[in-house]
Amino acid sequence: MYKLTYTPQNARQVRAGVRRRKSLIHNLAPVFRSLHAPIRAHFRKNFTTGGAHGGPAWADFSGEPKYRAMKLALTGNTKPLIWGKVSTSRLMPSLTQASHPDHLYGVARDGMLVGTTVPYANDLARGGIGPFGERFPGRNPVQIQQRQWREFSQMILKELIKRATTTRTNTQASP
């Protein structure tokens, strides 16, 4: 027969283990840190798919012929929000490279922030009037689908479980 003995000594150990695991939930900063790279990868896929990865594909430049011509002349491409090797390119690298000076990142015990300090980012996401007076539609580089929110939630749960199971609690069993 196998019997689990619960004694005052076991109770102290179990309570200590519960306190350690409870602290994991009260301070999620380490868990959020583990999401930084996957979120940047999500943003990168938004850029490379013209927004289609995280939501509706971004509109092309058909309503912005002057802007399209200028971008083609400068970069050799007409992909929305992609500037390639142009030295003034800031938006894409600021969202996809942790070391970029415009990359915004912070974690707290109950949340995280990943974004950009590029001043025109909100205008690009909302839409507006471009440099040649042409109206442009919003092209949101940080858009995310409901399914992807669920995937990030699953990553959080897996990380919590991993951290909880690597926090050891010594309980004693007697034969």
- pLDDT tens-digit series, residues 72-122: 999 888 999 988 776 668 999 999 999 999 999 999 888 889 999 999 999
The residue written with tokens 């012929």 in the block is 65
The domains of the chain are located at: 29-166
Tens of pLDDT along 124-153? 999 999 999 999 999 999 999 999 988 988
φ and ψ at residue 71, rounded to 5 degrees: -65, -40
Rounded CA gap, 100 and 84, in Å?
15
pTM of the full predicted structure? 0.77
